């Protein structure tokens, strides 16, 4: 499968009478976008704001982060099975608005939404402080249950991102990258001497708002399966969950999956990137055993030499991570696993909820329990009502000077387990 990715660099976002992109500036017509959000009767109102890198701005509670994209050539559309009709994506040509994101916020569940600081010490830990963020704060209609509200906001974010992406359809990209993988036989013939490598992608599927969707299918209801690595670039996987903010894979992470992009960098040079294997993180033991059995079986059937396994969330999914690692290694396929740590605020505790000697190659996104002092910022987009309640905070988080002492856990994307960041620990 071959996909050409065109990057349109967005240098600024401004509100305007008409939505358009001119010379790298995204103009957004609020009324038009509001209509798109309010198509869903569960959403009562929405306010928009723009947050730029370096500003004294805090966005919270953050739900999802989405990069606008548009399909220019080839089958299907962005977010197949969710926004676009079901059709196999990942080939042809796609444009992405780089340097910006749509951020959805609102009170939603109130435990596992996150914080994005656009400046100060917190900004160092979230990749989204480096983007120009178009933030939509959604209020639900009275009496809507949290999970319905969550779904409404999630889908509204996708609709808005798709609309903004469409503004780029006729533009000429600032840069273009081509991603191509081959069929099984073709790959063996083309790269006979290169190790066969795949990416085992564990999707959050613990249920009860901890869900991920693949072509619109709830990942917890799927067996381990596989895709071409370019499919994610058209939004084949979207986030629908609220695990702790630090190691939640937002839709932005899925679209820009760093493991896939870095494996592509080496594809045809030092390795043969065979495919993208999707497995889940269900809570029932039988599901965990079945899914990890299938993952190991697929690795063997594909005659892989090595895999990188990434995780989402912590605690319960640590058991899936270790099961996958152990079983894949037992098939003679070498593994590197990416995780993060909950080593306690003092860093002295065991970092994972499960362990095995087979996991001898681990990349860590850092200790999520580490404390950070977030100073008071001038502007808040959203509400601070939940800052002491979200995962990683506490009733004692508010300091006398108005700053917050919280764990890195509260910061959206801080200890990402796809290896999106440079943060690590020893």
Partner 1 sequence: MGKLRVVHYINQFFANIGGEEKADFPAELRVGEVVGPGLAFKASFKDEAEIIATIVCGDSYFNENLETAKAQILEMVKAQNPDVFIAGPAFNAGRYGVACGTVADMVSSELGIPAITGMYEENPGADMFKNKVLTIATKNSAAGMRDAVAKMAPLALKLAKNEKIGASCEEGYMPNGVRVNFFEKERGSKRAVKMLLSKLSGKPFTTEYPMPSFDRVDPNPAVKDMAHARVALVTSGGIVPKGNPDHIESSSASHYGEYDISGVFDLTSDTYETAHGGYDPCYANQDADRVLPVDVLRDLEKEGKIGKLHEKFYTTTGNGTSVASSKAFAAEFSAKLKADGVDAVILTST
Region 48-107 residues binding partner 1, contact defined as CB under 8 A: none
- Min CB(419)–partner 1 separation in Å: 3
* Whole-angstrom distance, CA of residue 325 vs CA of residue 333: 9
Nearer to partner 1, 305 or 331 (CB): 305
- What number of other Cβ atoms are within 10 A of residue 45's Cβ? 12
Stretch of 38-46, 88-96, 99-107, 390-398 lying at the interface with partner 1 (CB under 8 A): 390-398
Stretch of 78-86, 98-106, 292-300, 415-423 lying at the interface with partner 1 (CB under 8 A): 415-423
* Whole-angstrom distance, CA of residue 235 vs CA of residue 264: 18
* Whole-angstrom distance, CA of residue 258 vs CA of residue 275: 15
Q: What are phi and psi of 255, to 5 degrees?
A: -65, -35
Stretch of 21-29, 37-45, 46-54, 299-307 lying at the interface with partner 1 (CB under 8 A): 299-307
Q: At what angle do helices 146-166 and 30-38 cross, to 10 degrees?
A: 140
Binding pattern to partner 1, positions 206-235, x when CB under 8 A?
x-xxx-------------------------
Q: Is 302 in the site for partner 1 (CB under 8 A)?
A: no
314, 324, 327, 374: which one binds partner 1 (CB under 8 A): 314
Run of H or E residues at 296: helix 285-301
Q: What is the DSSP letter of 274?
A: E
Q: Is 171 in the site for partner 1 (CB under 8 A)?
A: no
Nearer to partner 1, 381 or 390 (CB): 390
Nearer to partner 1, 40 or 318 (CB): 318
- What number of other Cβ atoms are within 10 A of residue 372's Cβ? 21
Nearer to partner 1, 112 or 119 (CB): 112
Q: Residues 138, 182, 242, 325: which is the catalytic one? A: 242
Q: Are 207 and 313 in contact (CB under 8 A)?
A: no
Q: Are 200 and 279 in contact (CB under 8 A)?
A: yes
Give residues 109-168 in contact with partner 1 (rule: CB under 8 A): 109, 111-112, 124, 145-147
24, 53, 216, 258: which one binds partner 1 (CB under 8 A): 258
HSE toward the beta carbon, residue 143, CA cutoff 13 A:
1
Q: Is 368 in the site for partner 1 (CB under 8 A)?
A: yes
Q: Is 405 in the site for partner 1 (CB under 8 A)?
A: no
138, 277, 308, 323: which one binds partner 1 (CB under 8 A): 308
First-to-last C-alpha distance (Å) of the chain: 39
Helix, strand or coil for residue 18? coil
Nearer to partner 1, 24 or 306 (CB): 306
The per-residue DSSP string of 75-117 comes to SS-SSBTTTBPS---SSEEEEEEETEEEEEESSSSSSS-EEEE
Give residues 271-290 in contact with partner 1 (rule: CB under 8 A): 271
Q: Is 263 in the site for partner 1 (CB under 8 A)?
A: yes
230, 370, 381, 411: which one binds partner 1 (CB under 8 A): 370
Question: Catalytic annotation on 242?
Answer: yes
Q: Are 204 and 213 in contact (CB under 8 A)?
A: no
Q: Are 64 and 135 in contact (CB under 8 A)?
A: no
Binding pattern to partner 1, positions 324-363, x when CB under 8 A?
----------xxx-xx-xxxxxxxxxxxxxxxxx-xxxxx
Q: Is 395 in the site for partner 1 (CB under 8 A)?
A: yes
Q: Is 300 in the site for partner 1 (CB under 8 A)?
A: no
Catalytic residues: 242
């Amino acid at each position: 499968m071959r996909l050409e990715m065109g990057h349109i660099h967005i240098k600024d976002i401004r509100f305007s009478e008409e939505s358009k992109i001119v010379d790298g500036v995204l103009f957004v017509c609020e009324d038009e976008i509001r209509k798109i959000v309010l198509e869903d009767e569960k959403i009562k109102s929405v306010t928009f704001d723009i947050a730029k890198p370096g500003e004294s701005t805090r966005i919270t509670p953050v739900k999802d982060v989405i990069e606008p994209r548009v399909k220019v050539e080839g089958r299907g559309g962005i977010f197949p099975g969710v926004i676009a009709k079901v059709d196999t994506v990942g080939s042809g040509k796609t444009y992405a608005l780089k340097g910006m994101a749509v951020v959805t916020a609102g009170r939603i569940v109130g435990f596992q939404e996150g914080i994005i600081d656009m400046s100060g010490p917190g900004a160092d830990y979230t990749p989204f402080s480096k983007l120009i963020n178009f933030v939509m704060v959604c209020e639900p209609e009275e009496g809507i249950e949290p999970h319905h509200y969550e779904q409404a906001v999630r889908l509204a974010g996708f609709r808005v991102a798709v609309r903004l992406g469409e503004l780029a359809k006729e533009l000429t990209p600032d840069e273009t990258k081509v991603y191509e993988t081959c069929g099984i036989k073709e790959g063996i013939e083309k790269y006979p001497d290169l190790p066969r490598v795949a990416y085992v992608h564990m999707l959050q599927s613990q249920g009860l708002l901890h869900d991920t969707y693949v072509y619109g299918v709830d990942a917890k209801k799927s067996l381990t399966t596989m895709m071409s690595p370019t499919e994610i670039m058209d939004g084949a996987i979207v986030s629908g969950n609220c695990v702790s903010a630090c190691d939640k894979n937002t839709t932005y992470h899925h679209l820009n999956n760093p493991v896939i992009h870095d494996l592509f960098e080496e594809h045809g040079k030092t390795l043969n990137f065979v495919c993208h294997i999707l497995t889940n993180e269900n809570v029932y033991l039988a599901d965990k055993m079945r899914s990890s059995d299938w993952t190991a079986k697929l690795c063997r059937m594909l005659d892989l030499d090595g895999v990188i396994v990434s995780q989402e969330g912590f605690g319960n999914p640590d058991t899936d991570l270790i099961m996958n690692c152990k079983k894949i290694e037992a098939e003679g396929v070498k593994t590197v696993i990416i995780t993060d740590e909950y080593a306690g605020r003092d860093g002295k505790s065991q970092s994972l909820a499960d362990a095995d000697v087979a996991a001898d190659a681990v990349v860590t996104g850092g200790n999520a329990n580490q404390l950070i002092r977030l100073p008071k910022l001038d502007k808040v987009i959203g509400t601070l009502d939940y800052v002491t309640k979200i995962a990683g905070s506490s009733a004692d988080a508010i300091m006398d000077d108005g700053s917050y002492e919280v764990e890195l856990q509260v910061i959206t994307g801080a200890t990402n387990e796809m290896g999106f960041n440079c943060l690590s620990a020893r």
